[in-house]
C-alpha cells in the first residue's frame, strides 16, 4: 500500500512562481526550524507555494545548490517542500530564504499546519474559476466570430468586434492572471520561463485585435486570446489535480499523529502537547487513543491496532516490555509507556521520510519536461524576434511585422504538446472509471505501462481482509458455549466465530460474569462452568506445527481445549488475475507482514510461487529498491499504512477502495469492488495510453515543424495561427479519446 509515487509531467503553462518574491524580513525566528543532522551539517525544510512544474524544480535546485554554504537541496513538487542541508558556518535559514527570493519564490517553514492547509485546495478552486471564465468567453467570442467569418462587413463587423472585445478583454485579464504574474516574477528575477511567451502572445493578440477594431480592420483575434488561455488553464488544472493526490497522502499520514499526551509526573496526570514530550517521559494511553510517541510499555495489558506497521486487521496483545509506536491505537485497557523516540525520530515519521524520498524520484516524462522547459522559451522568443527583424529588413511595415511575430508566438504555443499527456490521462481516467478504477496520478499511467513485475500484499489486497471460520469441533454444546462468549467481544475473530455459529442455527448457552481479558480473550461462566475463549496459550492449547490458518480456542471447564480455525479468503478472481498477469509478461510475487502459514496458504491458492512472510515496511521497501537496482519495474498492490513506503517506491501502485486512508491517498490508482480484475484492466489501458501519448507527441512535433516555418514566412495570420493551434489541440484530444475503446 502506498502513496502515489512519481510526480506527473507538467502541463504547458503550469509553470513557475505565481506571486512576487519576498524578502527575508521577519524571518529571524527561522533558526528554530533547523536541526543538526551531523557535525557541521544542518537541515531545514521550507515550503514554496509557487513551485508548479519541472522548470521550478530545476531553477530552485540549481539555484540553491550554487549558493554558498548549501550542501544539498531537493524540491518535492507534490508537497512543495524544499529540503536543504547547509553548513551553518557559511549560511543560515535567513540566507536560504533570501536565495529563494532572489530566484523569485516565496518561502516559509514547512510544518504539519502547512500539510493540513492542503485540504482546503484554494489553488484548485482559483484555477477552476479562471478556467470557467476563459471557457465561457471563448465560446461566446467564437459564436460572434462565426458571423464575421460568414461575411459580416462594415458597421456590423465593427460592432461584433467591439462586443467580442468587451467580452474577451476582461476575461483575458482575469483568466490569464496566473501566467502574467508568473512571467513578471521570472522577468524580475532575470529569467525567462514558459509563461513569458504565453503572456506575450495573449497581450499581442488582444492588442492587435483592439488596434484592428479601432481602425475598422477586417480581422480581430479576440477569440485567439481567450481560446489560448482556456486550453492552457485546462492543462494546468489537470496537472494540479493529479499532484494534489500526492500532497494529500502526506497530509493523511500526518493526521495519524496524536496532538496531545497524558504525562505522568510525580504521580499526577496532566495533558501536554506532543511537541513537549521528551525521551524518558512516562505517559498514559487511554483506550481508544493513539500512542503519542514511540516507547516501551511499562504497565497494563491491552489489545493494540498495529495495522499501520503490520497491515494485519487483527488486534495484537501488548504487555509490559513490548514496543509501541506513535500512531498505534490502544483498544481495550489503559497502558503506561516510557517514551523512547519523539517527533521526527518516531517510526511514523520514518515511514513519512521513506515516502518523501520515493516521491522525489523523477519519471521519464518529468525529465523530458525539465529539458523542454529550459529550451522552449528562448527558442520561441528568438523565432518571433527573428521573424520581426527579418520582415522589417525585407521592407515590411511595422504593423505587418508585428502581426507575423504575434502569429509565430501563437502558433508555436505548446497547447498540443501540453495536452498530449493530460488529454490521454483524462481519456484513460474515464475508461478506467467505467471499470471501477480511479486514476489519481497521471504519471502512474506511463510507469504502469512499462512494469514487468507485480507485487501483492496479502491481507485486504490478495484476500478480502475479513476472516471466516473454516473448521471447528462437532460438539453442539461447545458451539453454544463459544457463541455465548464470542458475542460479547468485538474482536474480528470473535465476530467471525459468532457469525459462523448463527449460520449453523446454534443458540448461545446461558452465560454470566463474562469479561474481556485484554490481549487474551473472553472469560466467564457458561452453563455453570468456567469458560475461556481466546488465544491458544491462554486456553491451554497448542497450535499445530505448520498451521496455515489462524485460530480461536475454547476451554470449557475441565474439558480439553478445542480449536476453531479461521482464514482470510482470497478474492474470488485472485488466481485468474495472477494467471493473466503472467500471460501479459509479468512476474508475480507476494510480500506480507503475516505469519508464514497463512501467507503460504494464500500464495498457493492464488498460484504465486514466490512469497515472503513477516515483512516490515522497511523490508518491503528494501525488496523494491533491490529490484529497482536490478532494472526491474514493479507494480505494487497494497492496502495498509505499512505498505505506504513500498507503494511510493514502486514504479506504479494500486490500492483497494476500502484500504487505509493513507494508502488510498498514496496510490496512483484505486480500484473498487471485491474483485482483482481491475488490476489487469488498468494495465491494458495504461499500455494503450502510452501508445496514444507517444502518438500525440509525434503529432505535436509534426505540427510545430510545419506551423512555425509557415508563420515565420508570413503565410499565417494571427487568426489562422489561433485556429491552427486550436486544431492541433483538438487532433491530439481526439486521438486520446480512442482510449475509450481500449481493451
- The catalytic site residues sit at 457
**Sign of the alpha-carbon dihedral angle for 456, 457, 458, 464:** negative
Measured at the CA of 335, the angle between CA 332 and CA 340, to 5 degrees, comes to 135
- C-alpha–C-alpha distance, residues 569 and 676, integer Å: 13
Could you identify the residue written with the cell 490508482? 669
Most distant CA pair in the chain: distance in Å? 112
> C-alpha cell of 244?
494534489
- C-alpha–C-alpha distance, residues 567 and 467, integer Å: 5
Cα-to-chain-centroid distance, residue 291: 26
Q: Which of 34, 26, 45, 27 is nearest to 87 (CA)?
A: 34
Neighbouring C-beta atoms of residue 173, cutoff 10 Å = 13
CB 652 within 8 A of CB 441: no
Pairing status of strand 610-612 against strand 587-591: parallel
Q: Which residues are within 8 A (CB) of 115 and not within 5 positions of it... i.e. 6 or more apart?
A: 79, 247, 250, 251, 254
CB 354 within 8 A of CB 617: yes
- C-alpha–C-alpha distance, residues 384 and 395, integer Å: 17
- C-alpha–C-alpha distance, residues 393 and 389, integer Å: 6
Helix (H/G/I), strand (E/B), else coil: 159: helix
Neighbouring C-beta atoms of residue 195, cutoff 10 Å = 31
Helix (H/G/I), strand (E/B), else coil: 672: coil
Amino acid at each position: 500500500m502506498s502513496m502515489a509515487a512519481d510526480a506527473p509531467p507538467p502541463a504547458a503553462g503550469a509553470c513557475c512562481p505565481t506571486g512576487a518574491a519576498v524578502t527575508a524580513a521577519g524571518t529571524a525566528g527561522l533558526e528554530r526550524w533547523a536541526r543538526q543532522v551531523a557535525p557541521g551539517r544542518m537541515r531545514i525544510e521550507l515550503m514554496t507555494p509557487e513551485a508548479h512544474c519541472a522548470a521550478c524544480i530545476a531553477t530552485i535546485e540549481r539555484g540553491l545548490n550554487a549558493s554558498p554554504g548549501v550542501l544539498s537541496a531537493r524540491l518535492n513538487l507534490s508537497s512543495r517542500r524544499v529540503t536543504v542541508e547547509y553548513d551553518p558556518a557559511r549560511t543560515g535559514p535567513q540566507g536560504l530564504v533570501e536565495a529563494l527570493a532572489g530566484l523569485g519564490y516565496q518561502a516559509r517553514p514547512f510544518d504539519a499546519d502547512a500539510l493540513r492547509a492542503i485540504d482546503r485546495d484554494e489553488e484548485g478552486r482559483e484555477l477552476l474559476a479562471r478556467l470557467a471564465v476563459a471557457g465561457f468567453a471563448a465560446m461566446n467570442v467564437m459564436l460572434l466570430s462565426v458571423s464575421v467569418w460568414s461575411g459580416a462587413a462594415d458597421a456590423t463587423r465593427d460592432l461584433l468586434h467591439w462586443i467580442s472585445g468587451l467580452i474577451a478583454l476582461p476575461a483575458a485579464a482575469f483568466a490569464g492572471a496566473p501566467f502574467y504574474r508568473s512571467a513578471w516574477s521570472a522577468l524580475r528575477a532575470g529569467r525567462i520561463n514558459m509563461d513569458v511567451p504565453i503572456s506575450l502572445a495573449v497581450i499581442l493578440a488582444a492588442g492587435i485585435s483592439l488596434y484592428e477594431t479601432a481602425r475598422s480592420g477586417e480581422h480581430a483575434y479576440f477569440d485567439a486570446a481567450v481560446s489560448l488561455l482556456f486550453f492552457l488553464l485546462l492543462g494546468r488544472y489537470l496537472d494540479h489535480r493529479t499532484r494534489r493526490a500526492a500532497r494529500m497522502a502526506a497530509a493523511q499520514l500526518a493526521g495519524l499523529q496524536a496532538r496531545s499526551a497524558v504525562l505522568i509526573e510525580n504521580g499526577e496526570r496532566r495533558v501536554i502537547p506532543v511537541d513537549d514530550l521528551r525521551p524518558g517521559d512516562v505517559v498514559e494511553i487511554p483506550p481508544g487513543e493513539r500512542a503519542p510517541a514511540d516507547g516501551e510499555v511499562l504497565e497494563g495489558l491491552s489489545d493494540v491496532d498495529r495495522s499501520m506497521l503490520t497491515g494485519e486487521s487483527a488486534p495484537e496483545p501488548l504487555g509490559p516490555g513490548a514496543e509501541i509506536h506513535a500512531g498505534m491505537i490502544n483498544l481495550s485497557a489503559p497502558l503506561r509507556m516510557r517514551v523512547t523516540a519523539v517527533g521526527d525520530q518516531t517510526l511514523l515519521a520514518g515511514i513519512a521520510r521513506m515516502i518523501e524520498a520515493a516521491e522525489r524520484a523523477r519519471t521519464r516524462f518529468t525529465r523530458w519536461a525539465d529539458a523542454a522547459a529550459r529550451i522552449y522559451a528562448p527558442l520561441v522568443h528568438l523565432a518571433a524576434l527573428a521573424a520581426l527583424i527579418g520582415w522589417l529588413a525585407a521592407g515590411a511595415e511595422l504593423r505587418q511585422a508585428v502581426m507575423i511575430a504575434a502569429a509565430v508566438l501563437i502558433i508555436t504555443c505548446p497547447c498540443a504538446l501540453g495536452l498530449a499527456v493530460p488529454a490521454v490521462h483524462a481519456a484513460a481516467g474515464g475508461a478506467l472509471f467505467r471499470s471501477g478504477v480511479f486514476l489519481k496520478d497521471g504519471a502512474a499511467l506511463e510507469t504502469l505501462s512499462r512494469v514487468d513485475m507485480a507485487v501483492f500484499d496479502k491481507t485486504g489486497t490478495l484476500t478480502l481482509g475479513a476472516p471466516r471460520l473454516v473448521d471447528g469441533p462437532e460438539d453442539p454444546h461447545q458451539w453454544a458455549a463459544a457463541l455465548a462468549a464470542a458475542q460479547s467481544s468485538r474482536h474480528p475473530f470473535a465476530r467471525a466465530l459468532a457469525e459462523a455459529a448463527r449460520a449453523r442455527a446454534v443458540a448461545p448457552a446461558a452465560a454470566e460474569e463474562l469479561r474481556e481479558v485484554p490481549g487474551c480473550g473472553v472469560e466467564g461462566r457458561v452453563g455453570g462452568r468456567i469458560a475461556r475463549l481466546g488465544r491458544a496459550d491462554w486456553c491451554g492449547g497448542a497450535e499445530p506445527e505448520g498451521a496455515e490458518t489462524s485460530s480461536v480456542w475454547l476451554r470449557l471447564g475441565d474439558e480439553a481445549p478445542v480449536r476453531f480455525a479461521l482464514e482470510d479468503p482470497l478474492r474470488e478472481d485472485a488466481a485468474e488475475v495472477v494467471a493473466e498477469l503472467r500471460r501479459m509478461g509479468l512476474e508475480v510475487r507476494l510480500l506480507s507482514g503475516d505469519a508464514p502459514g497463512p501467507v503460504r496458504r494464500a500464495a498457493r491458492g492464488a498460484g504465486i510461487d514466490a512469497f515472503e512472510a513477516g515483512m516490515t515496511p522497511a523490508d518491503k521497501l528494501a525488496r523494491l529498491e533491490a529490484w529497482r537496482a536490478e532494472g526491474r519495474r514493479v507494480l505494487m498492490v497494497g492496502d495498509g499504512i505499512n505498505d505506504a513506503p513500498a507503494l511510493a517506491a514502486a514504479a506504479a501502485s494500486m490500492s483497494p477502495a476500502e484500504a487505509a486512508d493513507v494508502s488510498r491517498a498514496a496510490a496512483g490508482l484505486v480500484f473498487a469492488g471485491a474483485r482483482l480484475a481491475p488490476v489487469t484492466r488498468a494495465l491494458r489501458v495504461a499500455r494503450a495510453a502510452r501508445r496514444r501519448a507517444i502518438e500525440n507527441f509525434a503529432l505535436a512535433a509534426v505540427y510545430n515543424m510545419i506551423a512555425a516555418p509557415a508563420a515565420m514566412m508570413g503565410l499565417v495570420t494571427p487568426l489562422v495561427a489561433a485556429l491552427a493551434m486550436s486544431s492541433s489541440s483538438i487532433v491530439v484530444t481526439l486521438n486520446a479519446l480512442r482510449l475509450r475503446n481500449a481493451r
